[in-house]
Structure 1
């Protein structure tokens, strides 16, 4: 059993170095702050939304904004579990599952809002934006809508920039997607403000157009998140946060090729969330048939090469698999 324990790589949150674990704790705190801010935002927007389609779309987007932070918090709890017989690769892919759920919900709700807003535009619905008595004065509700959208658009932008600084060193795509959505929230606020002011100057269609713009933003977020999540779950080649080839892949293979007894090496990788599973195929030099010690040394070298290469399997072969050779070309 000692050999089995030695080969086990853990794949829990303790697979991350202390620096990344501390960043993960900071990210969790930011997500809890985000949830608290969303509760306040949704309440404020809901109170002044009235019959404005743009305000309703903005309210729906804020409601959907709960999904990424919740998915992130659930995933970070799941990855603390140990691997077992049913989950031999650990639970890091809980991150991708949460990504799929969030992306699907965004796409579905965004599509619904586009259809609803378009129907309002076609049917020439004119949103009634009346007045309200506040502190003894009659005030146009539109001004309250503008004020609320201006105030509530600031916090997510600030939180989004803070999350982006954590997403890159963690290589966390759910956190990155959430940060990207937060960072772009000012566009939702601006579109809604323009729509409300348009109604105020007599452009009845401005509200519906603004709602469609916000809905398109929701759909775009859903499509991009869903596409990335499905790609990871179907074992496509790992990518970085921007969708490009993960920079560690070629570097890890080059490190294996530089080992003195290795004639050639190639590898395939599986994105498990915060860490990567690496299966490296090595062709030994003639007269250098590797024993257990050499294979163990290669595995340990690769795992120390980068913290993300936490689950490494070394396989000795006579020739590199053809599909890996074709990929290198």
Structure 2
């Protein structure tokens, strides 16, 4: 409640966000240059063409991140009472769909070329007065541009965690694996050079499958978030520990008999619905307001908190404590938590 509609960030996250914006702008510039350079040496290699298209597609999450920030920073209005934080998830979904659609098209082209028995050829160019096989130029270009992505990919990963930004994490994860695309394109070019024409099609298919896989992963993560899946960590590896922390904080209040939480990820911040069973139904409103402030102060990501009095905890709400009493961190739905919710206010 005390933080409803907030669009500011704590100092640590504000610094991380400024760094994220700078590295995304740098990445866009770097990628734009590589797209232009690769376009000059494409030749007839299907693998090179596929790698080139992937470079173009890699701009999608970067641009989506920067555009989403414009909307995320806007305060709630009557038309959008929860703010526009989900713009980050929408950008994530758009990037995933683009990757999947184009990746599927590229995979079909690679398979079609293989079935037709296309035999691509690579000619020569004149460099510094000498005739040079264009394949060597292709290999040199792909080897050089492969240096950057793994480094700035790891840098983005470090920023994704404090920002709890899944779009930035997806972009970083894709960048880390970019060397595989470059390696595959080099294999395809070498295959043409030694007469193994099918290696080019195989390399193109390998790159296409990677694009499709990235698209599917991004689509799944973004869609589940938009469907109000239970809040998870930025890398989607576990249920977010803040759920258990909120529930335990509320249960520690002297006037609360039991508590459970429904927490959804709005893209970078959380909306929290906290259900509490009061020991006395006459508990004053001020106690609920204080509880809401206490929850909001747990973490900067808690953007909106509602503390709701109930006589029986909702079945769907999460108490954050399995049978052994320890906060759960995996992605499973604990039957014990459901049973406890059905059991009402007693602990």
Distance in 2, Cα, partners of 1:307 & 1:82: 16
What are the within-5 Å matches in structure 2 for residues 90-239 of structure 1? 90-239=83-232
Partner of 2:313: 320
Q: Report the TM-score, using the length of structure 2 for normalisation.
A: 0.90
Q: Which residue, out of 263, 266, 280, partners 2:257? A: 263
Return the offset for 1:327: 7.4
Partner of 1:42: 35
Return the offset for 1:50: 1.2
Partner of 2:269: 275
**Larger deviation, residues 103-112 vs 249-258:** 249-258
After superposition, the Cα gap between the structure-2 partners of 1:235 and 1:327, relative to the gap in structure 1 and judged at 3 Å, is farther
Return the offset for 1:289: 2.9
Q: Considering only aligned residues, what root-mean-square deviation do their CA atoms show, in Å?
A: 1.3
Say yes or no: does 1:53 pair with 2:46. Answer: yes
Return the offset for 1:321: 0.9
Distance in 1, Cα, partners of 2:283 & 2:140: 70
Q: Deviations over 1:259-309 (max 9, x none)?
A: 111000001011111110000000011x36321211111000001111111
Q: Deviations over 1:24-48 (max 9, x none)?
A: 1110000000000011100111110
Return the offset for 1:7: 5.5
CA contact (8 A) 1:11 1:91 kept: no
CA contact (8 A) 1:11 1:90 kept: no
Partner of 2:5: 10
Structure 1 gap ranges (5+): 1-5
Say yes or no: does 1:254 pair with 2:248. Answer: yes
Return the offset for 1:179: 0.3
SS of the equivalent of 1:323 reads coil
Return the offset for 1:323: 2.6
Distance in 2, Cα, partners of 1:288 & 1:120: 73
Distance in 2, Cα, partners of 1:327 & 1:79: 37
Q: Deviations over 1:199-236 (max 9, x none)?
A: 11110101000000000010000000000000000111
Distance in 2, Cα, partners of 1:328 & 1:85: 36
SS of the equivalent of 1:322 reads coil
Distance in 2, Cα, partners of 1:74 & 1:284: 44
Say yes or no: does 1:284 pair with 2:293. Answer: no
Distance in 1, Cα, partners of 2:55 & 2:104: 16
CA contact (8 A) 2:2 2:293 kept: no
CA contact (8 A) 1:27 1:166 kept: yes
CA contact (8 A) 1:131 1:140 kept: yes
SS of the equivalent of 1:133 reads strand
CA contact (8 A) 2:277 2:313 kept: yes
